[in-house]
Structures are given as structure tokens and as C-alpha cells.
Structure 1
Amino acid sequence: MPVQLMPNGRWKVDIEPVKGRRFRKSFKTKSEAQRFELACRANVASDSSWSPKPKDKRRLLELIQVWFDMHGASLSDGKRRHAILITAANQLGNPVALSVSGSRVASLRASWLQSGVSGKTANNRLSYLKAVYNQLHRLDEIDYTCPFDKVPSLKLQERPLSYLTKPQIVELLAALDARSTSPHPAMMARLCLATGCRWGEAQAVGPDQVRGGQVTFHNTKGKRVRVIPISKLLESELLKHWRHHGPFTNCLMTFCRVLESTSIKLPAGQASHVLRHSFASHFVIAGGNILVLQKILGHASLAMTMRYAHLAPDHLQDALAFNPFDTLSTLP
């Protein structure tokens, strides 16, 4: 019976109108208990928030597609992420999304590392998987958080940033002018070195974005418009280049082949991005303001720009002035 008289004289209600939602409470009188029972049954019938939601049985691939349709398609690298996520889901066996455990994801990450995937790439893939759950939870598409959110990213050894010296810049530009099968890489490299832009940002620049001694980047990674001053000579060369050769094309592979033919040796994974690092490094070496550099590069956080701070002429010079060894009056 849902309403029962207890030995202590109180009336107890114990009902489960729908599986998974149970109500229990005691009252002084039978009529109060009966009214509570009726109210619970009526609320469960009329208000969905009173009823337990059915378990989400969608598999990971389906959830990834929902994420892409609702959010991923709007990202500048959405298609690339989508492809990476599909591969990861298949490697996991396309489980029910709610049931993906931390140990399962950690095992997959271990297999990536064993197959030669870098730690940074493994961390990126893990963050993409977590972002699917987190974004869909924010959008109220799922009512649970990422089930493997406690899996930490790998701690990676910070690598020093590589940049080209001025003689190396001269060598690279000369090689691009002489050996490139396309006229575009040499001019795009000059634009990257003069403005600190990314290779993809340079590729998207057209004549309408260069005027008045400035170049406007509006297809940026951070979705923010950047306007960077350039010399009159570079502006003239850019406009002349487009008149003779047309708009820039996708010529990254050509750039990489020419770079490999030079004496310049870069760490694995670095190619065109060394141009951006070179701009930032020489800017700081020459005494440029780190806050100005942040604006030029378009970094959302100053922490990203601070990677170049050690190149400043006075960086941490207090260590030399105030350390206890060099300030001894008598050295052995």
C-alpha cells in the first residue's frame, strides 16, 4: 500500500509513480498523506522535470556529429577537428558516449604515443574529445559532463622557440627567389617576416587589404581583425606582385621544399611558422615592447607573447646584478 499507518501513529507515503523516481514522507493524518500521494502522481504526469530522463544511449560518433552541426562547423579548423574526432571515436570502438571511461581514453592515448604521435598532438586530441562533451553540455544537448574529465593532459617539456638569424633570412629569401616553382612563396614569406602573420593569414591577403602603408588581416585564428603597418616599399612590391601573378595560392609545400634545400635546420614540426617566430624574436631583440608585440601577433593572452621575453636585452639582468656570487668583494 502506498499509504500506511506506522507504529508511531504517523501515516507514511512510499510511492514510485515512474521507475527511478521515488517519494517518501510521513504525515500526522491520513488525509494529508493521501493528498501528498495524489500531488506527486499528478506532478509526475504533467511536469517532465519531475520524471527521470531516459538514459542517453547515443554513441560517440553521433554525439560528434551533433557537436559539429551545432558548433564545430563555425570554427576555422572545424573540419579538421571533425576528422580527428571521427578517427578517435573509431579507435575507441564507437562506444555509448556516456560510458567512455577515463581508463579507456588513457589507453587510447598511450597507443597514440607508442605509434609515434607527439605528446602535444596527443594532448590536442584529448582536448578535442573533452570539448565535444563540454560544449554540448553548455548547449543543454546532454545533461552530463565529460565522463573522462579527470584524465589530465601530459606534462610536456617546454621547447625553445627557433627563429631565423638575419643571414638565414637572406639565404631563405634568395633560395625562394631562385628555386621556387611558384612566384608566391617568396612574397608571402616577406609578408610574414614583415608583419608576424601566420602563413594562412598571408595566403588570404589580397590587394583590397593593403592600402595606406597598412595590411589588414581579417581571417585570423583568433577571429579578430589586425591592422599592421608595412613599409611603402613592401606595399608597392605586393601590389606589383598581384598585378603580374594574381592572388596568392596554397603553396606551403613549395615553401617547405625550398626550405629543406637550404642549410637551415629546424626542429621537427616547424616550417612556415618559423617566419612568425623570427618576426617576434627580432622585434624583442631590438627592444620592442612586449605589449605591442601581443597586439601585433593577435595573442589573446599575454602569456603566449611572454615566450619571447627572454630575448629582450635587459631580460632578467637583475640576476647578474644581485646574485650573491658575483657581488662578493673577493673571489677565490
Structure 2
Amino acid sequence: MSDFAFATDETTRAQITNWLNALMSMRRLSKPTLEAYQRDITQFMAFLTSHFGQPVTLEMLQNLHTRDIRSFMAMRRQKGIGPRSLARQISALKNFFTFLERQNLINNQVLHLIKAPKKTASLPKALTINEAKNTIAMTNDLEARPWVAARDMAVLSLCYGAGLRISEALAICAQDLNEGALRVKGKGNKIRMVPLIAPVRQAINTYLESCPFKPAGHEPIFRGVRGGVLSPRLIQQRMVQLRSALGLPPSASPHALRHSFATHLLGNGGDLRTIQELLGHASLSSTQIYTRMDSEHLLNAFQKAHPRA
């Protein structure tokens, strides 16, 4: 039974399920995004149940006031949620209310009267070129089993050399590999083609030649020591070892290698549209944050080097 079941009546519960199903079928949201939406609505329903002392009904949602929404936001802030996460949660609730309005079940604009929390733009944490290269190379020194070392080096090479998310890298199948390009299934099951530079292709080939398991063409190529699909947790644990060995900051993660890919491309003259396509960003605004990061890097270098800075 869903987590929101005990906080809502049967009718409201059914509409939440319908809403989540609609998001999955029509907007093709990824599984993690859908799970985040479900957490958002569950937390809101649990708050309302406590706030009013009874399970949530559609009539209750129809009669909500701005003070109720502000009380919910205050509760979330007290629990330590940041402005960006709270803004996303309010956006999810607006989406749910819009869904109910389109079904002619409620007509309450209360959420649209609430000013969304101001988001603090956070810049991605990128490694230097040498740090990124050393991170991949050091893997071989930390792992005694050659095929496991080759596996982890190939995964990290895909993050830095192709800009893949860790989930995208671990989902790669043999049939996705072409001589000079890689077929990647990103968020929302959107497909993109990413060039495979020679070092990345070589890292994959070295792993495939040494791997004791031979998955079918439609199965993920990266395998754990027992032959199952490789868990991202193992790559994250490898990065913890690499951070310790190389003295890297806590922000050095598989995702930081993806950020480094974009930052280094931009710093060497890559254009935003191309980087957007390579990263699989749906919106250019998601990619534009790297221009701010590059500008900050230039300013820091200027302040360190210029005699009048």
C-alpha cells in the first residue's frame, strides 16, 4: 500500500494514483522523478492529516487557505529542507492541484498565491583536468582484480570522457556500442548519441576482454563480481577510496566527473548547444550554469595573477 494511503480517504487516494500514472504515461518522467513526486505528495498529505486531525479529502483540499500552505512550508524548513527542494515540492503540489482542477474535482488556486522560495543557484563542483585523469588512472592501483579495475576505469571514463550520468553508464548494453558513438538512454527514456573518444573506447574494450561474464547484447555490460548488474553504490564506494588516495574534496563523485566533462569542454571552446545535447539536458538553462562556473574560474585566476587585483 502506498505511503499516502493512511493520510487520505479512498477518493483522494485514487486521484493521487491517477495523477502519478498520468505523469508516468504522458510526461514520461523518469522513475527517480516520479518517486520524488510521490514523496512530495505523501509529505503534504501527512502534514494535512496532522494539521486538521483527520484524513485528507477533496473537500479539505478545496478549502485550503494560504495560511495552511505557509504552515506546511514552515514545517518543511524546520526539518532542514533547502529552498531548491522546497520550490520543487511546491511545484509538484501545483501540478497535482491542476490535475484535480482538470478533472473538475476542485477549484482552488491557493498554491498559485504562494510565492515560490527563492532558489540559490549552486555551481557544479568540477575537478581539474589532472585530477580527473588521475582519478581514472589511480583505480588500477587500488584494485587487485584486473577485470574489476578495468570495469571501474571504464565506468569512470564514461562519466568524464562522455559526460554520462552514473545511471546511464551502468545501463549501457553491447548493442548500444558503435565504433565511434554510443547510444545513451537518458532521463525520461530519451535517446541521444554521444561520440566515443579513443581513450573511452579503449577502456570499454579492455573491460569487455577481461570480464569473465558475457551478457547478451540487450543486457548491461557492467557486472558485479557475482555476475549481476553492477550497482552504482560500488562505483560510489570506489570514488570514496579515490578521494582518500588522491586527497580530493568530498564533492569529488562520479557526477563531478560529468560536471568536469562539461566544464572542460566549455573552457576549451565548446558551444552551449553542443554541450546541452551531449549532456542530455532538456533545457538550455540547465547547461548555462557552466558559463557561470567558467566565468568564476577566470575571475579567480585573474585575482590570483593580476598585480592590481
If the length of structure 1 is used for normalisation, what is the TM-score? 0.67
Q: SS at 2:80's partner residue?
A: coil
Identify the match of residue 221 of structure 1 among 173, 184, 187. 187
State the match for 2:6 in structure 1: none
What per-residue deviation string (whole Å, max 9, x for no partner) do you get for residues 277-332 of structure 1?
Answer: 1110000111112221122122222222211124668x999xx9xxxxxxxxxx9x
Give the counterpart letter for 1:95 in structure 2. V
Give the counterpart letter for 1:254 in structure 2. L
- Equivalences for 1:170-185 in 2 at 5 Å? 170-179=133-142, 183=149, 184-185=151-152
2: CA distance, partners of 1:101 / 1:194 = 51
Identify the match of residue 200 of structure 1 among 163, 167, 182. 167
Give the superposition deviation at 1:67: 0.8
Unmatched 5+ residue regions in structure 1?
Answer: 1-56, 321-330
Structure with the greater alpha carbon radius of gyration: 1
State the match for 1:69 in structure 2: 21
2: CA distance, partners of 1:179 / 1:135 = 52
Given the alignment of the two structures, is residue 252 of structure 1 paired with residue 213 of structure 2, yes or no? no
Identify the match of residue 295 of structure 1 among 256, 261, 277. 277
Give the superposition deviation at 1:229: 0.9
Give the counterpart letter for 2:66 in structure 1. G
Q: SS at 2:119's partner residue?
A: coil
State the match for 1:324 in structure 2: none
Give the superposition deviation at 1:164: 0.7
State the match for 2:67 in structure 1: 103
2: CA distance, partners of 1:136 / 1:208 = 42
Identify the match of residue 264 of structure 1 among 248, 253, 260. 248
What per-residue deviation string (whole Å, max 9, x for no partner) do you get for residues 110-155 of structure 1?
Answer: 22222222222222222222211223434x3635255322222211
Given the alignment of the two structures, is residue 128 of structure 1 paired with residue 112 of structure 2, yes or no? no
2: CA distance, partners of 1:221 / 1:250 = 19
If the length of structure 2 is used for normalisation, what is the TM-score? 0.72
What per-residue deviation string (whole Å, max 9, x for no partner) do you get for residues 155-206 of structure 1?
Answer: 1322232101122213322443343695544321110111112111111111
Given the alignment of the two structures, is residue 187 of structure 1 paired with residue 154 of structure 2, yes or no? yes
Identify the match of residue 117 of structure 1 among 81, 85, 95. 81
Q: SS at 1:92's partner residue?
A: helix
2: CA distance, partners of 1:271 / 1:107 = 36
Given the alignment of the two structures, is residue 235 of structure 1 paired with residue 201 of structure 2, yes or no? yes
2: CA distance, partners of 1:280 / 1:110 = 37
Q: SS at 2:285's partner residue?
A: helix
1: CA distance, partners of 2:11 / 2:142 = 51
Give the counterpart letter for 1:114 in structure 2. Q
Q: SS at 1:124's partner residue?
A: helix
Give the superposition deviation at 1:210: 0.8
Higher relative contact order (Cα pairs below 8 Å, separated by 6+ residues): 2
1: CA distance, partners of 2:140 / 2:87 = 38
Higher strand share: 1
Give the superposition deviation at 1:64: 1.6
**How many residues matched?**
260
Change over 3 Å in CA distance of 1:130–1:60 after alignment to 2: farther
Unmatched 5+ residue regions in structure 2?
Answer: 1-8, 50-54, 214-220, 223-228, 303-307
CA contact (8 A) 1:196 1:297 kept: yes
Give the superposition deviation at 1:89: 1.3
Give the superposition deviation at 1:245: 5.1
Give the superposition deviation at 1:225: 1.6
What per-residue deviation string (whole Å, max 9, x for no partner) do you get for residues 86-106 of structure 1?
Answer: 233112214233233332222
2: CA distance, partners of 1:285 / 1:154 = 32
Calculate the aligned-residue CA RMSD, in Å.
3.3
